[in-house]
Structure 1
Amino acid sequence: MELMKLILLPLFCMCFHGHCAGTAYPHKSKCTIGNTKVDCSHMNLDAVPTDLPQNITTLDVSHNRLKNLSSLHLYSNLMNIDASYNSLTVIEEDLCLSLPHLQSLNMQHNEVHLISEKDLKNCFNLIRLDLSDNRLKLKGEPFSVLKSLTWLDVSRNTLKSAKLGTQPQLPNLVTLVLSGNEISVLQKNDFSFLSNSSAFRVLILSSLSLKKVENGCFQTIARLSDLVLDYSKISLQFIPSLCEELAGTALRNLSLKNTQQVTLSNTTFQGLDKTNITVLDLSSNSMTKIGDGTFQWFPRLESLSLEHNSLKQLTKDTFLGLGNLRQLNLQKALIKSHSSSLPVIEDFSFHHLVQLEHLCMANTAFREITEHIFSGLLHLKTLDLSWSITGLKTVTNTTFASLQESPQLQTLNLTAMGINKLAPRAFSSLGNLTTLLLSHNFINQQLKGDELEGLSNIKEIDMSLNQQSISLTNTSFIHVPTLRTLKLGRALKGTLDMEPSPFRPLVNLTILDLSNNNIANINAGLLKGLYHLKVLKMQHNNLARLWKTANPGGPVLFLKDATKLSVLNLDYNGLDEIPLNALRGFFELQELSLRGNLLDQLHASVFDDLQTLKYLHLQKNLITSVQRVTFGVPLSNLTDLYMDHNPFDCTCESILWFSEWLNSTNVSVPGFPQSYMCNTPNAYFNRSVMDFDPLSCKDMTPFKALYILSSTAVLMLLFTAFLLHFQGWRIQFFWSIMVNRMLGSLKDESITEGRYAYDAYIIHSAEDRPWVERSLLPLEDEKFNFFLEDRDAVPGFSQLDTIVENMGQSRKIIFVITEMLLKDPWCRRFKAHHALHQGTNPSFPSETLLSTNFYQQGQLEFFFFI
């Protein structure tokens, strides 16, 4: 036991007034200055700093060790001072004299004891004064000089009486807080000092041990509109007498939260029928029973809170007399203990609430939803049954039949009610419903469409978090074309790869949530027809294969029909690439989230259409390079960038532009620089991107020039090599022609006529030589002189020069055209082309087997076809 005390004692000492060591503010080294506001709190100061700007109007010196405020005279423009949680013992007499503009003074939790009129005599402009948690003892009329004060807090000061003065004062006071004092009796003249306070409205008497209220105690504050008695220990006999004293006041709001009112009878609030109370709070009272007719004294009540009680039953007369009620809060009002059965809500329990608009029964335990449980709620707009414990398992077309009398019902919250099935036309009686919340249930069925039939005005359906047990069909939403928001996160099983898409009828849909469904198979028409879709959430699925280039049939561009998107979430889908056209046409996209994927190399123009992007989430990917060509467009108008926890390659080629952008941008980059770390090279490993030195990249300029020159030289060399390889013979041919013509032009024209040494140059293939010798050579014996390359070529001369030279000395050129000739590369290319340039006039028909260019030259006159 002693050891336990030693352990708990330091923890108790560190936890004081709700500020534990784990959550305490750390001590600051200097004051925070912003415009005319200065924050010097939590600095362990002994005195107010004297080196602050002279024009400050707001000063926070709370949570220090101040014993006086003498230095404040240096700042005559001060209007608001927070000196709470210090060691101040008095309010200096000249404080308000040196601070003529002071309007708010907070001295909560100090050690102020004796306070008199002279301490506040110059505080004419003070509007708000907080003296709570001190040891106040009033001397004379200390508050009588505060003509402008509207809010006064003297709670937790061990005051024995609510009487703060003997003469009328505080003419403009609106709120008086007397909570946590030792007041047990409200005497007749306690509030006489407020008799001239025409603005007074709010009296807070929380955490008192009231035992008696004397006649006429509220008479001098008849304008009272708000009375708060929360957490006060009030006996059952005290409430009736209090209500009698409140009769005739202007009371509108009465709060009796946690005042130990275990049971209420039909006489508890008698007397309040003469008031105009519109708000009554009876929450957290461990209340077990409300007698019939208890609320008959509140004909004008508009809001009633009974939350956090332990009621066992509601009857048809529990709410008798509340015909004007607009809001009823029954959250955790009926609960089930381990030893008791479920509480009962009888039929017609709410039928007196003909004006009720909002009924909250969240976390309420009751036996069942009966046929007439909600009958009579003619103006109901919102019904919240979320997290309620009932016997409801299947929703049929009779479950909410009683709500057919509520034509204005717009929102029905059935979250976490243990529903496992929706029967056909389950909500057919709720034709005007706009919001249906069915999340956190156990719905396990295939939606065929007739389950939602009758919801002709529905705008939002939330079926998320249903244990992935709902499967869709082509007709699942055929009866709800007005739907604008559909949430199916962690609700679906089976495939969405169907034609037409289940969402095809939802032409007005603007928000679609398909997250956390392990979706792997969809087709390009998933969002077809959803031209108004603004928000698409598909995080935590398995879409990686669909965007792979290697996917059979190519990438599935399932976003192509939703170009009006403003928010797109594809987090944690295993994506390692984005197809080039996947984000084409998204000119209105403002938020793109791709965190937690495997993205690395991105196409240069993949984000080029995202000119309106404001928020980009790319954290926790494998991005190594951030270059202008890829990210220049999306980062140009960005508001927030999230790209932390990526393995950046801190080299000039990969990160130079991004590093310069980070150091110059006004965009918010959360986590920078701590979470933007380099992975490579070794010189920058595990260092921040901010440490990357852009100046080191300037040394690369000469190497870049050398690289360009060497690359150009290599390319030129390759080009020349390929040109010579494939077209060298042509170049050599034209060079020979040019040389021979130039040399020929230098000869004397007088000898040109006799320049022919041969009558004809015979061109034939080697295989046709026997035919030439047999058919053409005999003609030489008569009158012709032919040139045959095999016979007349001069030894030692190149074949090319021999052909060029002797063709020029031949009057005619004879082609012996055979199939072999056309296959011979020398004959087909060089010899034929050279013969082409030797001719002058066309003299043979175009039907020859040579190129059509050949018959345009006059020298080609003889052809032999074999």
Structure 2
Amino acid sequence: MEKHFVFYVLCYTILFHFLSHNVATPWARRQCQQIADGYDCSDMELQVIPDEIPSFVKKLKFSFNYLPALYNFTFQRLRSLNYLDLTRCGITFMYEDVFKYQSGLVVLILIGNPLVFIAERAFYGPLALKYLSLAQSKIQSLSDIPTDNLAYLEVLDLGGSEIHSLDGLSSFHCQNLRSLQLDMNSIDRISVEDLVPLQNVHGISISFKGNDFVYIEPGAFKSLNLSSLDFSGCLSKMDFSSLLKGLEGLKTNRLNLGLYETDPTVHIPSAALQSFCKIFVTDLDFQLQHFLDLNNSTFYCLDELKKLDLTRAHLDSLQFNMTGLSTLSHLVLDENRFKDICHINTRNFPLLTHLSVSGNSKPLIFSSKCLKSLRVLEELDLSLSLVNPMGPCCNDQLFGLSELKLLNLSYGSQIFLSSQPFNATPQLKHLDISHLNYTLNDSSPFSNLQNLKTLNLSWSNTNLTNMHIFKGLKNLQLLNLKGNAVQGGVLTQTELFKYVPFLETLILSSCKITAFEENLFKGLTHLRQIDLSQNKLVKLSTSGFYSLDFLQLNFASNAIITVNVGSVMDLGKESTVDLSYNPLEQGLLMQNFIVNFL
């Protein structure tokens, strides 16, 4: 059994390699592809359902074909369908009883069809249709959608259409609705009366993003209890204060009031945010906004907020002592222009567990003890911010963060790691210093991180001749060393991985490896995945691994010409080998397989 599996895997890989470098044959383009529970017939210029699709099929992807009209016989043969995708099939007319025989249909996708007529009984047949997408279908009114058989609908997607108002919402059965997507339409007004059908519906997510509103009646959203509400990109014609007046009385878990890059600049006055004293929200998004007069009372009414996203909010300082925001657990300050992490004044956020200052537009000075007040912080992301520790890193800078579980310093400037640089964060489970040039004051910089699970050192000029660099990482499960060149091309340090006995995933791609010691990986008894792609290996060998029963080997994009069949005969049936993009001598290799397996 195992030998046949090896034969299958390698033959399949070779066939894939061959096909990926040749023009697809006509028959390959014309056949529907079998997928889990169904078939994918997308983009085949079909005008009917092919006869080879079995009648018991449950899932059918038929997008980018041509069905200008749907009749009650179009899908008559496919009576077990529960998922049907008809994206961009040029559907103009939907007549009565199209899905008369599909009682189990749950998901219906009609994205991008120029519908001009939908019969009253078009959706009759399914007993409990739950997902209906009519996005980008040029529907101009909610009243154009027949609703008699949509009582169990949970998701209604009408994004990117031409709807001008909420007239007709009252005809929908909203009691089971969980998501209403009305983004990128032409809705410009919302009244109290418009939202009456949603008054007794709890936990629904509504998106109005990208609509150009000019008026929302004050209190229009009063008494609504939503899961989320998205008004991003809706302020090109409407005053921000008027929008918040319309939201007074709302209760929602998440509220998005951000902008798009192409939107006109909006300056939020602090006085406008007083409306939040009458809005209950736990997760608030202000991406790309400008705050007109930011001061210590700006966020006074947000004292119950848990998460605040101020990505690209044009901030350079939060040094004042704030009233409000003391209950925050998540704060996102990505892509701003802070000069020093001390300027965030983290004393305002004593309950913060997640802090992200990624992509800062200026080099970010990481001064000592700036974060010491964040005693319950679990995740800190300073990636892409050219962090400058102003001295040896990182114990002084991370002082007080004893509960930190994740630290991301990737894509930073050059830093000098002091001896035991992470003593201040002994609970770390995930450390990312990829694309960061660092120098060491200690041959074993991670020796105190006994809880670390993942370590990303990719493209960091890590010296792989230092056999003690992984000392102390006894519970490490994933190690990424991509892009760190092996001196001389031959990886021979047999003791390099002895400190990481529970390693499951090892990434050594793009390390300029030409060969490796036969016993190099023998001590890694838990290894399940190893990536040696994009190196300069000339032969495939599996003898250096402890177990071959569940091993995923990636040898793609090397210089492998031939494969010794005997070297992979012991691979278990759950194992795979990727040999794509190698200059294999295919004729000789296939001959070897035939000789050995027939």
- Give the aligned partner of residue 233 of structure 2: 258
Match of 1:307 among 287, 297, 305: 287
Letter in 2 for 1:74: R
Query: What is the aligned-residue RMSD (CA, Å)?
Result: 4.3
Distance 1:277 1:295, change over 3 A: farther
* 1:557-610 deviation per Cα after TM superposition (whole angstroms, max 9, x unaligned): 44455544444455566666655654554433334455566xxxxxxxxxxxxx
Residue 314 of structure 1 aligns to a residue whose secondary structure is: coil
Note closer, same or farther for the CA distance 1:291–1:514 as it changes in structure 2 (3 Å cut).
Answer: closer
Pair 1:231-2:221 in alignment = no
The structural deviation recorded for 1:440 is 2.5
Q: Counterpart in 2 of 1:437?
A: 408
Please tell me whether residue 348 in structure 1 is matched to residue 321 in structure 2. Answer: yes
SS in 2 for 1:304: strand
Q: Which residue of 1 aligns with 2:351?
A: 379
**Alpha-carbon deviation of 1:259?**
0.8
What TM-score do the two structures reach when normalised by structure 1? 0.56
1:11-64 per-residue CA deviation (whole Å, 9 max, x = no partner) reads xxxxxxxxxxxxxx9983122345752322222123222343232233333322
TM-score normalised by the chain length of structure 2:
0.77
Alpha-carbon distance between aligned partners in 2 of 1:167 and 1:78, rounded to the nearest angstrom: 21
Give the 3-state SS of the residue equivalent to 1:294 in structure 2: helix
| Structure 2 CA distance for aligned equivalents of residues 306 and 260 of structure 1 | 12
CA distance in 1, matches of 2:310, 2:290: 10
Q: Aligned partners of 1:309 and 1:37: how far apart in 2?
A: 46
Unmatched 5+ stretches in structure 1:
1-24, 135-155, 336-342, 475-495, 549-554, 598-619, 679-685, 699-866
Judged with a 3 Å threshold, the aligned counterparts in structure 2 of structure 1 residues 394 and 557 are, in CA distance, closer, same or farther, namely closer
Pairwise CA distance, 1:66: 2.8
Determine helix, strand or coil for the equivalent of 1:218: helix
Evaluate the alpha carbon distance shift between residue 386 and residue 635 of structure 1 in structure 2; reply closer, same or farther with a 3 A threshold: same
Task: Please name the residue that 2:526 is paired with.
Answer: 588
Is 1:191–1:217's contact at 8 Å kept on the other side of the alignment? yes
1-side partners of 2:268 and 2:207: how far apart? 21
Larger radius of gyration: 1
> Is the contact made by 1:313 and 1:344 (CA closer than 8 Å) also made in structure 2?
no
Q: Which amino acid aligns with 1:64?
A: N
Judged with a 3 Å threshold, the aligned counterparts in structure 2 of structure 1 residues 85 and 432 are, in CA distance, closer, same or farther, namely closer
Structure 2 counterpart SS, 1:295: helix
Q: Does 1:389 align with 2:361?
A: yes
Q: Give aligned-pair identity as a percent.
A: 20
Question: Compared with structure 1, are the counterparts of its residues 73 and 294 closer, same or farther at alpha carbon in structure 2 (3 Å cutoff)?
Answer: same
Aligned position for 2:335: 363
In the other structure, the counterpart of 2:539 is 623
Q: 1:290 to 1:374 in 2, by over 3 A?
A: farther
Q: How does 1:469-480 map to 2 (within 5 A)?
A: 470-474=438-442
Aligned to 2:589: 689
**Superposition deviation, residue 120 in structure 1:** 5.0
| CA drift at 1:126 | 4.5
**Distance in 1 of aligned mates of 2:190 and 2:325:** 33
Higher relative contact order (CA 8 A, sep 6+): 2
2:566 matched to which residue of 1? 657
Q: Answer whether contact 1:201 1:223 (CA < 8 A) is retained.
A: no
- In structure 2, the residue matched to 1:90 is 93
On the 8 A contact 1:26/1:42 being kept in 2, the answer is no
- What do residues 258-295 of structure 1 show as CA deviations (whole Å, max 9, x unaligned)? 01258866564235342323321111155442222433
Residue 81 of structure 1 corresponds to 84
1:303 deviation in Å? Answer: 0.6
The counterpart of 1:221, out of the listed 180, 189, 198, is 198
- Specify whether residues 691 and 270 from structure 1 end up closer, same or farther in structure 2 by C-alpha distance, changes over 3 A only: same
1:286–1:546 CA distance, 2 compared to 1 (3 A): same
Shift of 1:222: 1.8
Deviation string for 1:756-813 (max 9, x for gaps)?
xxxxxxxxxxxxxxxxxxxxxxxxxxxxxxxxxxxxxxxxxxxxxxxxxxxxxxxxxx
Post-superposition offset of 1:438: 2.6
Q: 1:31 to 1:365 in 2, by over 3 A?
A: same
User: 2:582: which partner in 1?
Assistant: 675
Cα distance change of structure 1 residues 390 and 40 upon mapping to structure 2, 3 Å threshold: closer
Distance in 2 of aligned mates of 1:697 and 1:125: 51
Q: What code does the residue aligned with 2:351 have?
A: H
Distance 1:364 1:105, change over 3 A: same
Q: Deviations over 1:367-402 (max 9, x none)?
A: 6555673333121111111221357435133x34xx
Correspondence for 1:806: none
Partner Cα distance (1:641, 1:167) in 2: 52
Change (3 A) 1:314 1:416: farther
Q: Is the 8 A contact 1:313 1:345 kept in 2?
A: no
- AA aligned opposite 1:58: K
Query: Secondary structure in 1 aligned to 2:527?
Result: coil
Counterpart residue number, 1:772: none
Letter paired with 2:314? L
Does the CA contact (< 8 Å) of 1:676 and 1:689 recur in 2?
A: no
In 2, the alpha carbon distance for the partners of 1:98 and 1:217 equals 35
Q: 8 Å contact 1:268–1:294 — kept in the other structure?
A: no
SS at match of 2:346: coil
For residue 465 of structure 1, report the CA deviation from its aligned partner.
2.8
Partner of 2:418: 447
Q: Give the conservation status (yes or no) of the 8 Å contact 1:174–1:199.
A: yes
1:43 aligned residue = 44
C-alpha separation in 2, matches of 1:543 and 1:93: 71
Cα distance in 1, alignment partners of residues 344 and 568 from structure 2: 68
Paired positions, count: 560
Separation of aligned partners in 1, 2:487 and 2:142: 69
Provide the secondary structure at the position in 2 that maps to 1:375.
helix
* 1:60 is aligned to 2:37: no
Matched letter for residue 355 of structure 2: L
Alignment partners' CA distance in 1, 2:462 and 2:161: 62
* Structure whose residues are more often helix by fraction: 1
Instruction: Specify the alignment match of 1:248 in structure 2.
Output: 223
Contact 1:517–1:541 (Cα < 8 Å) also in 2:
no
- The answer to whether the Cα contact below 8 Å between 1:286 and 1:310 also exists between their aligned partners in 2 is no
Are the equivalent residues in 1 in contact too, given 2:528–2:550 (CA < 8 A)? no
Secondary structure at the aligned position of 1:217 is classed as: helix
User: In structure 2, what residue type is equivalent to 1:417?
Assistant: S
The 1:667–1:502 alpha-carbon spacing in structure 2 relative to 1, beyond 3 Å, is closer
Partner residue in 2 for 1:207: 184
Corresponding residue number in structure 2 for 1:412: 380
Contact 2:549 2:573 in 1 (8 A): no
Matched, 1:542 2:458: no
Q: 1:209: how far off?
A: 3.5
Q: 1:48 to 1:571 in 2, by over 3 A?
A: closer
Q: Are residues 66 and 218 of structure 1, via their aligned partners in 2, closer, same or farther at CA, if it must alter by over 3 Å?
A: closer
Conserved in 1, the CA contact under 8 Å of 2:143 and 2:169?
Answer: yes
State the distance in 1 between where 2:177 and 2:463 align.
Answer: 66
How far 1:255 sits from its partner (Å)?
Answer: 1.3
**Do 2:56 and 2:78's aligned partners in 1 also have CA atoms closer than 8 Å?**
yes
Shift of 1:133: 4.7
Cα 1:249–1:234 shift into 2, 3 Å: same
Query: Kindly tell me: are residues 331 and 107 of structure 1, through their superposed partners in 2, closer, same or farther at Cα, counting changes over 3 Å?
Result: closer
The answer for unaligned runs of 5 or more in structure 2 is: 1-25
CA-CA distance at 1:75 after TM superposition: 3.0
Is structure 2 residue 278 aligned with structure 1 residue 278? no
Question: Which residue pairs with 1:427 in the alignment?
Answer: 398
Instruction: Map Cα deviations across residues 51-102 of structure 1 (whole Å, 9 max, x no partner).
Output: 4323223333332223455353233333433333224443343534444544
Residues 697 and 111 (structure 1 numbering): CA distance in 2 closer, same or farther, change over 3 Å?
closer
The residue aligned with 2:13 is none
